[in-house]
Structure 1
Amino acid sequence: MGKEKKISREDIAKMSREERMKYEIAQELGLLDQVLEEGWKTLSAKETGRIGGIMNRRRKQKEKEGGISQEKEQ
């Protein structure tokens, strides 16, 4: 397998919204330093599942808020 590219905090700002959200959640959970230093593969299944679950919840919440604001405009 190839070596993973190291990601810096500055690189995160240039990422897509979805990717940035993943790193923001990792930071909220206190896992960002580990991810930046050692990569995503060093996280446990529990940790990655938690990040994915929070991402999904936020995505659904944004979709719901978007639908509500569109209804108000009509």
Structure 2
Amino acid sequence: MGKKKEKEIDLNNLKPEEELKYEIASELGYLDKVMTNGWKSLTAKESGRIGGLMTKRNRELKKQQTQEGKTES
């Protein structure tokens, strides 16, 4: 079996979920590492930190949208 070829990362053409992931990686200082070596180069701790922050932000966004919906009614 050969190695999978890594896809080129186009930061201008990302899904919203991916955009959030890259944004958090950038804030934590991991973006350079990801861009040069891919996501597999991150440690479990680094990946977990990104995933945790993504979950937290998604929860906050959902809560905010719920509150906005209640005030509009």
Q: How does 1:17-28 map to 2 (within 5 A)?
A: 17-28=16-27
Query: Following TM superposition, by how much is the alpha carbon of 1:3 offset from its aligned partner in structure 2, in angstroms?
Result: 1.4
CA–CA distance in structure 1, aligned partners of residues 36 and 15 of structure 2: 21
**Residues 25-72 of structure 1, C-alpha deviation per residue, up to 9 Å, x if partnerless?**
000000001100000000000000000000000000000000000000
Count of paired positions: 71
Structure 2 match to 1:16: 15
TM-score (norm 2): 0.93
TM-score (norm 1): 0.91
Structure 2: any 5+ residue segments left out of the alignment?
A: none
Higher helix content, 1 or 2? 1
Percent pairwise identity: 48
Structure 2 match to 1:52: 51
The ranges of structure 1 where at least 4 consecutive aligned residues each deviate by more than 3 angstroms after the TM superposition are none
Contact 1:21–1:55 at 8 Å: present in 2 too? Answer: yes
Query: Following TM superposition, by how much is the alpha carbon of 1:6 offset from its aligned partner in structure 2, in angstroms?
Result: 2.7
- Given residue 22 of structure 2, which amino acid in structure 1 is its aligned partner? Y
